[in-house]
A and B are shown apart, each in its own frame.
Chain A
């Protein structure tokens, strides 16, 4: 039996070594930021920017599940976010329920809506689905504008500021873990199969409709969660926070990072949240930069920065060996003969 370690400690390429270095540096930076925020040495404004970055991570990763992994095309993510934001904000304002509970309920209502929207519209393909989800997002916005309880165009104010840097960070991490774990399972492979070839997926025993609806429901749940965090961070929401433009901003993050790469979405969410703050003088050019970014990416690198690669791929961590290493005795490592590998 050949010895298989999880990490090929001797066999790293230069590129992998550099990625390790970058990953370790980023990890240290993250620790430093956490300590800084905890001690109160990071200024209030920048802490706010980081909160928004974590919220954007949740939005981008959850949209990536729908658009990147499952290959559907949703332009209505802001709609789900809006639902989560309003539901949780109203529960806080009127009933003052505990923060985790209102967040959960916001996510749940968004998921339900994702399910009911998904069920009929997912018979549509590609660009038709894009337009239908866009339409859904607009309908949500118009409904929010017209209801009394949502304050109509005046919006909702006086939401208690309950979102902290740490709650946003923990929930973003949770999102990454949950969606990551789903992707690396037989269910996740079903999502990817739907993206690759629906007819072949069906022929392999995969209920494609179920997985499309599931992707929408899960994606919507996390968008709703992000909406709840957003509402309790801004303390004020109105329908203008959740326009089509918002959906496009999230889409840009997903496309820039790579459709089908969670790592890419996380990096892109951070870059696209912090960069505009750094270039604050150019605020009015932001949407132009986004537009050029989209066009340029599609022309030059349509797969985005990372394509479908994840951090662990780039670090050279082999999943299969990992799985085998979990139970080395059970004969999972049968010899494959001397075929020269």
Chain B
């Protein structure tokens, strides 16, 4: 059984079909890319998978469980976390609190335990604290822990967003254009980081990216979307040589 299975996912806005019968199979440990020209419906796919939109039709199965129509928070708790194309950090909060918030669903104590400061509260809070510091160290953000998220440089905001997604303890990580706005060195660093994080946390990664170097280097499989329709799927080599993809999207200059 695959970890994530998407069958004929379709999303319509009024008369516009943004995504048309999208299919996907993610197995444990996969790292798959989703590419396509602007407006091809990539982020819409993400929004459907994570419950931000309720798909018009089709099926999304996470570990065999049907998840369409669930709330985003439920899907996150089932083990699928995401980042956002335009970075959605808690901008006014510290780096520290950004991560701590994401450990929310892993604290077991209830409201009464918080009010009366029961032992469970101290135990869970200490655990969250340790895990937060661990994540901050891994991402090299520990020195910045007391800074306000929006004051971080762009690249570190992206990293913080990934760290925050990891704090929800996901099985699948969806990255929406993680390299957007990064220079080649930063992209290189990010490529290594994603690969390393994937191994370290035993993740399955599904990512949207425009930066072809990152996609070709990182992904084992690539899905190409154009006008909501899947026009190709295969290994980086297959995609690079697919005439339909070249015509629709890549053009000559990239290759």
Contacts and interface: CB of A to CB of B under 8 A. Distances in A.
Contacts of A182: 111, 114-115
A310 to B, nearest CB: 14
A208 interface: yes
Contacts of B111: 182, 187, 214
Given A190-B104, A200-B90, A208 B73 contact: yes
Contact of A205 (B91, B137, B168): B168
Q: What's the dominant secondary structure at chain A's contact region?
A: helix
Interface in B123-140: 124-126, 128-130, 133, 137
Interface stretch (A41-49, A137-145, A272-280, A322-330): A322-330
B126 A330 contact: yes
Nearest to B110: A187
A127 interface: no
Nearest to B78: A205
Given A320-B129, A323-B125, A336-B133, A205 B114 contact: no
Contacts of A204: 73, 76, 101-102, 104, 164, 167-168
B126 A332 contact: yes
A287 interface: no
A188 B137 CA distance: 25
Nearest to A208: B73
Interface residues of B, number: 48
Contacts of A181: 114-117
A207 interface: yes
Interface of A: 178, 181-182, 184-190, 192-193, 196-197, 199-208, 214, 320, 323-324, 326-327, 330, 332, 334, 336, 339-341
Leading 8 A-B pairs by shortest Cβ distance: A185-B114, A205-B105, A202-B72, A186-B107, A205-B76, A196-B90, A200-B88, A204-B102
Given A181-B114, A336-B137, 8 more contacts: A185-B109, A193-B101, A196-B91, A202-B51, A203-B165, A205-B76, A205-B105, A341-B143
30 contacts: A184-B114, A185-B114, A186-B104, A186-B114, A186-B128, A187-B114, A189-B101, A197-B88, A197-B91, A199-B72, A199-B88, A200-B84, A200-B88, A201-B101, A202-B72, A203-B81, A203-B88, A205-B76, A205-B77, A206-B73, A206-B101, A206-B104, A323-B122, A323-B126, A324-B126, A324-B129, A327-B122, A332-B129, A336-B137, A341-B143
